[in-house]
A and B are shown apart, each in its own frame.
Chain A
Amino acid sequence: MKRIAIDERPDWRDSAAELGFRFHTIDGEPYWDETAYYAFSLAQIENDLEDPTAELHQMAMSLVGEVVESQELMEKLAIPEAYRDWIAASWREREPHLYGRMDLAYDGNGPAKLYELNYDTPTSLYEAAFFQWVWLDQRKQSGAIPDGADQYNQIQDLLVEAFGTIAPGLPKPLYFSAVRDSLEDQGTIAYLRDCAEQAGISTNTIAIEDIGLSADGRYTDLDDYVIPALFKLYPLEFLFAERFGPALPTSGIRLIEPPWKSILSNKGALPLLWERHRGHPNLLEAHFETGDEGVLAPGWVRKPLFSREGANVQLKLADGSMHESPGPYDDAPWIRQAYHALPQFEGNYAVVGSWVVADRPAGIGIREDASLITRDTSRFLPHVIL
């Protein structure tokens, strides 16, 4: 695994505009960054990233099967009581899921370590599945990257296939929804909707804020049509807590990601995985906070059960120095995870986002940040297999 500097394609911004990539620059700061790329060997990809992703995913799925049968575990994960039966039923009925991303710390040697699972509302999908693919194709054509180079990225193939697989059992149209004003989230659902259309699914869109509730407890679009199926790029735990939440279990709506994903998007899944697979080479030691731990000891990280984009993370290095990210998610229980440094390349901290589509490892995307905590300020860099 190497970080290799390279010239940008001179016209990549035009290409981005043509290809619907509207959030390559966020608040004036670069997000898509092709001034460098990461190069992996095939062995690194297959042995150190792809295989562990498949194994970690299977471990996560068996964890769901266990949690839905246990009130005690649901309680530990702070899942509201009113939704527990509905969540459990969605698992027993095997309501299909689409995708997830696990964030791995990996430096090219030794086992990748699981930082967390983003299994409910993962973003950075379009740039991983589509735009980095186009980047490689064009760089190879221009001779900037050797012709034999490949990329670990079957994400789009598998997304279209997964949509095709779930299509027969899915009521239609499938609505795609995200908060209205987030360019990034809107871009991500536009891409997913495109993949669904490619699989022959009829689709529609609605902003999360525009969803209506009918007198008989069903969700409606702006023309009063009942929404039969909803892909929501919006956290399940937000839906649970909001005014329309209580109607979810009886509304008849089919959600993607399905309700049972709330178990895996929860940081509490990390200590539960550790308890069941103590010492697994790809896991970091993790515990629920009980309240008597005292202050954070050196070498530990503190994360809220519910958090997005690296918010509200505290970490204390071995030298005693403290690093903290601000955020609004300070109202949930916390977990502690053993600190494992992100590798640094040319002064940048890189995290590997490893995608799972349906139940298969699908590809990776790499984000870099200037700080130890990867946040929504990070940049996305393409990769190749050489």
Chain B
Amino acid sequence: MKRSHTVRLLLMGAAPIVLTACESEEPVSLYKDVAECVASAKLTQDQCDAAFNHAKSEHERVAPRYTSQKDCETDFGASGCQTINHGAGIQYIPLMAAYALGYYAGRPNYYQSQPLYYSNVGWSGGGGGYLNSGGQQVARTTGDSRVARSAMEAPTRAVTMSRSGFGSSASARGSWGGGGGKSSGS
């Protein structure tokens, strides 16, 4: 057969199925709080505190944001959300449910922590588990686990100074051959 054995659409249309890419995995530890971290006996009290504080300080900045409480609670459960107001009006973010410590391969003494959120709907295959701020699945339960490297790379933010610096060629060249909505493809 010289054609695809199956064709599928996840977002555009029909049947949901996911082939998982074989991404390299990294060890990660999940803790609900400092006490659980200390109890694991892998880190000192100070290290557990520092990691928790870092995740907590990132939390409001990186948590997924919603403009409606209902949407937030759909993803993170009733009373699973809090409000923030960072100048863009009231927004809703999930409560920080745990924090994750990832150890970078090749840098054994270096770890970074990030906040995690508990969702009952963000998991393929049903059931609940911990997601990172980008909505990626990290682990079902706290404790030691392995995750795709990308799940431990928290998204970075930067102060945007300017927009609309791309797209001008398309509009400049868009005046030919039939109205708006000119394709830039070929």
State how many residues of chain A have any CB contact under 8 Å with chain B: 95
- A12 proximal to B (CB < 8 A): no
Other-chain residue from B4, B155, B181 in contact with A225 (beta carbon distance below 8 A): B155
* Interface segment out of the listed A80-88, A176-184, A338-346: A176-184
Q: B11: which A residues are within 8 A, CB to CB?
A: 190, 193-194, 197
Other-chain residue from A164, A225, A243 in contact with B22 (beta carbon distance below 8 A): A164
* B165 adjacent to A182 (CB under 8 Å): no
Q: Given A153-B3, A242-B166, check contact A235 B184 (CB 8 Å).
A: yes
* B10 adjacent to A198 (CB under 8 Å): yes
* Interface segment out of the listed A69-77, A205-213, A278-286, A287-295: A205-213
* B13 adjacent to A179 (CB under 8 Å): no
* B166 adjacent to A200 (CB under 8 Å): no
- A167 proximal to B (CB < 8 A): yes
* B9 adjacent to A130 (CB under 8 Å): yes
Instruction: Report how far A193 CA is from B12 CA in the complex, Å.
Output: 9
Other-chain residue from A172, A207, A224, A228 in contact with B160 (beta carbon distance below 8 A): A224
Instruction: Report how far A262 CA is from B24 CA in the complex, Å.
Output: 30
- A91 proximal to B (CB < 8 A): no
Q: B155: which A residues are within 8 A, CB to CB?
A: 173, 225-226, 228
* Interface segment out of the listed B39-47, B49-57, B170-178: B170-178
* A243 adjacent to B10 (CB under 8 Å): no
Q: A151: which B residues are within 8 A, CB to CB?
A: 2-3
Q: Is the interface of B mostly helix, strand, loop or mixed?
A: loop
Considering residues B8, B20, B161, B185, which has the most beta carbons from chain A within 10 angstroms of its beta carbon? B185
Other-chain residue from A210, A223, A242, A377 in contact with B169 (beta carbon distance below 8 A): A242
Beta-carbon nearest neighbor of A252 in chain B: B156
Other-chain residue from B1, B153, B185 in contact with A233 (beta carbon distance below 8 A): B185
* Interface segment out of the listed A57-65, A106-114, A269-277, A325-333: A325-333
- B146 proximal to A (CB < 8 A): no
Return the CB mask of B92-124 against A: 1 if under 8 Å, else 0: 000000000000000000000000000000000
* B21 adjacent to A167 (CB under 8 Å): yes
Q: Given A156-B4, A202-B136, check contact A20 B158 (CB 8 Å).
A: no
Other-chain residue from B136, B156, B165, B182 in contact with A179 (beta carbon distance below 8 A): B182
Beta-carbon nearest neighbor of A117 in chain B: B186
Question: Measured between C-beta atoms, what is the minimum distance from A49 to chain B in Å?
Answer: 11
Instruction: Report how far A154 CA is from B155 CA in the complex, Å.
Output: 34
Instruction: Report how far A179 CA is from B182 CA in the complex, Å.
Output: 8
Question: Measured between C-beta atoms, what is the minimum distance from B39 to chain A in Å?
Answer: 32
Instruction: Report how far A268 CA is from B152 CA in the complex, Å.
Output: 43
Q: Given A134-B7, A212-B163, check contact A182 B184 (CB 8 Å).
A: yes
Return the CB mask of A121-152 against B: 1 if under 8 Å, else 0: 11100000110011010000000000000111
Instruction: Report how far A98 CA is from B163 CA in the complex, Å.
Output: 27
Instruction: Report how far A363 CA is from B178 CA in the complex, Å.
Output: 30
- A218 proximal to B (CB < 8 A): yes
- B14 proximal to A (CB < 8 A): yes
Beta-carbon nearest neighbor of A218 in chain B: B158
* A154 adjacent to B167 (CB under 8 Å): no
Q: List 17 A-B contacts (CB under 8 A).
A: A42-B2, A101-B186, A123-B183, A130-B9, A154-B3, A164-B19, A164-B22, A179-B170, A182-B181, A185-B183, A185-B184, A194-B10, A201-B21, A208-B184, A215-B158, A220-B157, A224-B158
The 3 A-B residue pairs with the shortest CB-CB distance in the complex, in nearest-first order: A244-B165, A123-B185, A20-B12
Residues of B within 8 A of A (CB): 1-5, 7-14, 17-24, 65, 134-136, 149-150, 153, 155-170, 172-173, 175-186
Residues of A within 8 A of B (CB): 18-20, 26-27, 42, 45, 101, 118, 120-123, 129-130, 133-134, 136, 150-157, 160, 163-165, 167-168, 170-173, 178-185, 188, 190-191, 193-194, 197-202, 207-216, 218, 220, 223-226, 228, 233-235, 238-239, 241-245, 265, 308-309, 311, 326-329, 363, 375-377, 385
